[in-house]
């Protein structure tokens, strides 16, 4: 059988450039496809962080004047990933965060930058690089959404298309005045085109024109068809519900493997759980907390944003930290939350440890050392940290939304009796319910045999990409057009 060729379109890809879970997914999927008979390549912008990592590169396309400057597409590989890189220095030769300027505001030309990414993907999709003519073009999130609009408005034959929603909160909405600058005709500015509440919607365009739409969990695929989680796009998603499905994310279990992880203090497995204790001590030491093996230690690894519900955790702290319970938090984002957590650590130095920043190594140690990982998100498309927590024996305490609802089995009495629990869920998402969930977890923590059973159940859940990648592969095979 001929391999299906897939061009993935993404603005982030781990380990080259990452601001969140999107990069983890676009970085892990191509590797998982290798056993599925899928030949995958990813087109990404040529940010400095990407160009610096290339292992040799060939120029495969050249655009003398592309959105205001010369550009070329490089074929290359890096970190085991096959890539096409849009090398357009006037758009992407900017270090740091890919979307935000040093002053904290979005780059003013983001519409142009990501239109250029979409345009490049559409050109490759329609055969501009004869050595790689894809059967399917798979766009991820708003930055890639315009790809499908360019394909739609072109007269030439086009490949099959998929749009994946990793987070509907980021929509790529721009003023209608940029329509001609991004290379679309006035006819595209209609409600069945790229128009979105009077402006231009990049994600909207992708959702409008894709042959298939996926969201990153089955529950999120349902939630986004409702006004609350739909964030303005629920009507369109309801209208397209016959092509919308949810496919859960996985994690890279070679990077997240407690038996071999070089970033933790003491490797362990489901059969050597007592070895996990040394990681808890290392974590307590790292944050200058009392080295108390029996203190209930909560962990958080998160962007600090309204979505993640960590303001609710702050409200519960006086309630839940009473009896020696400890909290370590690693995160950054919202300046107000950063300040409040830093202040909380100052107020309770022997209870709370906070590191404001981004630190992959520490994230691994928290997963290995914390007793429970708290994820009180108001909405959560899939969530990856709870999957890592399951694998590392940190029991996830999560809100019952999106992918959190799909990946954690709540330790209620019936489920405990059936020995199937993997964590604690709560809902609706309020600080009272979060406090109740933490109390419930603490009760279980003091019942060591029950706690260990939940840990072991979690550690044996399949959180790998293996089966999830197969779902994408099946979808590709279904929609690939014979050529
Ligand atoms: P989102 O994509 O909404 O930020 P996910 O849970 O899907 O949330 O993915 C977040 C990813 O980023 C996980 O791999 C998590 O470990 C990582 N992460 C988030 N914040 C930090 C941080 N401050 N330091 C290290 N890793 C982090």
Residues 336 and 244 in one domain: no
Residues 51 and 117 in one domain: yes
Residue 104, pLDDT score: 86
Closest atom of ligand 1 relative to the 382 alpha carbon: 7
Query: Is-contact 377 401, C-beta < 8 A?
Result: yes
3-state helix, strand, coil in the chain (%, to 5): 40, 20, 40
Residue 70: which residues within 8 A CB-CB, separation 6 or more? 62, 63, 64, 88
User: 431-438, long-range: CB within 8 Å, 24+ apart, which pairs?
Assistant: 431/312, 431/313, 431/315, 431/316, 434/309, 434/312, 434/313, 434/316, 434/374, 434/376, 434/397, 434/399, 435/316, 435/319, 435/320, 437/397, 438/298, 438/316, 438/320, 438/325, 438/372, 438/374, 438/397
Query: Is-contact 370 339, C-beta < 8 A?
Result: no
The DSSP bridge partners found for residue 136 are 6, 160
Residue nearest to atom 16 of ligand 1 (CA): 385
Structure tokens at 231: 């964030």
Pocket test for ligand 1, best of 13, 15, 17, 21 (most atoms within 8 A of CB): 21
Instruction: Tell me whether residue 334 is in a domain.
Output: yes
Per DSSP, which regions of 281-420 are E strands? 297-304, 326-333, 352-356, 372-375, 395-399
Instruction: Tell me whether residue 385 is in a domain.
Output: yes
Q: How far is CA 67 from CA 111, 116, 168, 413, in A?
A: 11, 7, 27, 60
Q: How far is CA 133 from CA 1, 84, 124, 130, in A?
A: 17, 12, 7, 6
Q: How far apart are CA 369 and CA 227, in angstroms?
A: 39
What share of the chain in percent tops pLDDT 90? Answer: 94
Residues 310 and 178 in one domain: no
Residue 1, pLDDT score: 65
Domain region containing 212:
4-250+466-479
Q: How far is the CA of 331 from the centre of ligand 1 (A)?
A: 8
Residues 474 and 413 in one domain: no
pTM: 0.95
Residue 320, pLDDT score: 87
Per-residue pLDDT of the chain (483 residues; tens, 9 = 90+): 679 999 999 999 999 999 888 999 999 999 999 888 999 999 999 999 999 999 899 999 999 999 999 999 999 999 999 999 999 999 999 988 999 999 989 999 999 999 999 999 999 999 999 999 999 999 999 999 999 999 999 999 999 999 999 999 999 999 999 999 999 999 999 999 999 999 999 999 999 999 999 999 999 999 999 999 999 999 999 999 999 999 999 998 999 999 999 999 999 999 999 999 999 999 999 999 999 999 999 999 999 999 999 999 999 998 888 889 999 999 999 999 999 999 999 999 999 999 999 999 999 999 999 999 999 999 999 999 999 999 999 999 999 999 999 999 999 999 999 999 999 999 999 999 999 999 999 999 999 999 999 999 999 999 999 999 999 999 999 999 765
Instruction: Tell me whether residue 181 is in a domain.
Output: yes
Closest atom of ligand 1 relative to the 303 alpha carbon: 20
Instruction: Tell me whether residue 453 is in a domain.
Output: yes
Counting Cα atoms < 13 Å in the Cβ hemisphere of 475 gives 26
Q: How far is the CA of 48 from the centre of ligand 1 (A)?
A: 22
Instruction: Tell me whether residue 95 is in a domain.
Output: yes
Residues 224 and 324 in one domain: no
Residues 300 and 216 in one domain: no
CATH code, 304 = 3.40.50.2000
Residue 483, pLDDT score: 54
Residues 240 and 295 in one domain: no
Instruction: Tell me whether residue 156 is in a domain.
Output: yes
Pocket test for ligand 1, best of 384, 391, 398, 403 (most atoms within 8 A of CB): 384
Residue 400, pLDDT score: 98
Residue 482, pLDDT score: 65
Q: How far apart are CA 317 and CA 190, in angstroms?
A: 50
Residues 407 and 328 in one domain: yes
Q: What is the DSSP letter of 334?
A: -
358 lines ligand 1 (CB under 6 A): yes
Residues 283 and 156 in one domain: no
Q: How far is the CA of 176 from the centre of ligand 1 (A)?
A: 33
Q: How far apart are CA 471 and CA 477, in angstroms?
A: 10
Instruction: Tell me whether residue 256 is in a domain.
Output: no
Q: How far apart are CA 340 and CA 474, in angstroms?
A: 46
Residues 213 and 305 in one domain: no
Instruction: Tell me whether residue 40 is in a domain.
Output: yes
Residue 447: which residues within 8 A CB-CB, separation 6 or more? none
Q: How far is CA 410 from CA 387, 437, 445, in A?
A: 14, 10, 15
Residues 411 and 290 in one domain: yes
306 lines ligand 1 (CB under 6 A): no
330 lines ligand 1 (CB under 6 A): yes
Residue 276: which residues within 8 A CB-CB, separation 6 or more? 258, 266, 268, 368, 369, 393
Q: How far apart are CA 193 and CA 181, in angstroms?
A: 17
Residues 444 and 475 in one domain: no
Reduced to 3 states, what is the DSSP secondary structure of residue 86?
A: strand
Question: What's the number of domains the chain is made of?
Answer: 2
Per DSSP, which regions of 144-281 are E strands? 160-165, 173-174, 195-196, 199-201, 212-215, 244-246
């Amino acid at each position: 059988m001929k391999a299906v060729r897939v061009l993935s379109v993404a603005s982030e890809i781990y380990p080259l450039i990452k601001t969140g879970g999107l990069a983890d997914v676009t970085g892990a999927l191509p590797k998982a496809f290798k056993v599925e008979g899928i030949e995958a390549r990813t087109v990404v912008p040529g940010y400095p962080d990407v160009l610096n990592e290339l292992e040799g590169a060939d120029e495969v396309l050249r655009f003398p004047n592309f959105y205001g400057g010369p550009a070329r597409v490089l074929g290359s590989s890096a970190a085991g990933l096959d890539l096409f890189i849009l090398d357009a220095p006037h758009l992407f030769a900017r270090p740091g965060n890919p979307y935000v300027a040093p002053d904290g505001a979005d780059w003013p030309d983001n519409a142009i930058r990501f239109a250029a990414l979409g345009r490049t993907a559409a050109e490759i999709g329609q055969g501009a690089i004869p050595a790689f003519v894809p059967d399917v073009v798979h766009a991820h999130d708003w930055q890639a959404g315009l790809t499908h609009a360019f394909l739609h408005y072109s007269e030439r034959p086009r490949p099959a298309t998929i749009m994946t929603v990793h987070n509907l909160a980021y929509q790529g909405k721009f003023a209608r005045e940029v329509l001609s600058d991004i290379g679309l005709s006035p006819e595209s500015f209609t409600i069945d085109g790229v128009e979105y509440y009077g402006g231009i919607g990049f994600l909207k365009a992708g959702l409008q024109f894709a042959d298939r739409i996926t969201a990153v969990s089955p529950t999120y695929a349902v939630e986004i068809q409702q006004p609350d989680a739909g964030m303005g796009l629920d009507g369109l998603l309801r209208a397209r519900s016959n092509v919308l499905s949810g496919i859960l994310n996985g994690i890279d279990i070679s990077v997240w493997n407690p038996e071999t992880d070089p970033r933790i203090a003491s490797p362990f497995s489901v059969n050597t759980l007592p070895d996990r204790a040394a990681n808890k001590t290392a974590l307590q030491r790292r944050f200058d907390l009392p080295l108390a093996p029996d203190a209930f230690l909560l962990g958080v690894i998160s962007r600090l944003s309204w979505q993640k519900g960590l303001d609710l955790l702050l409200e519960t702290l006086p309630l839940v930290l009473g009896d020696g319970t400890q909290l370590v938090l690693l995160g950054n984002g919202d300046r107000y939350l950063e300040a409040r957590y830093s202040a909380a650590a100052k107020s309770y130095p022997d209870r709370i440890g906070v590191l404001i920043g981004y630190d992959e190594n520490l994230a691994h140690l928290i997963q290995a050392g914390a007793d429970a990982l708290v994820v009180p998100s108001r909405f959560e498309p899939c969530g990856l940290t709870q999957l890592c927590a399951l694998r590392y024996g940190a029991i996830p305490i999560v809100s019952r939304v999106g992918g959190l609802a799909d990946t954690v089995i709540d330790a209620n009495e019936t489920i405990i009796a059936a020995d199937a629990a993997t964590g604690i869920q709560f809902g609706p998402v309020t600080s009272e319910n979060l406090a109740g969930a933490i109390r419930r977890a603490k009760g279980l923590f003091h019942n060591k045999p029950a706690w260990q059973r939940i840990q072991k159940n979690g550690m044996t859940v399949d959180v790998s990409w293996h089966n999830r990648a197969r779902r994408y592969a099946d979808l590709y095979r279904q929609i690939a057009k014979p050529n």
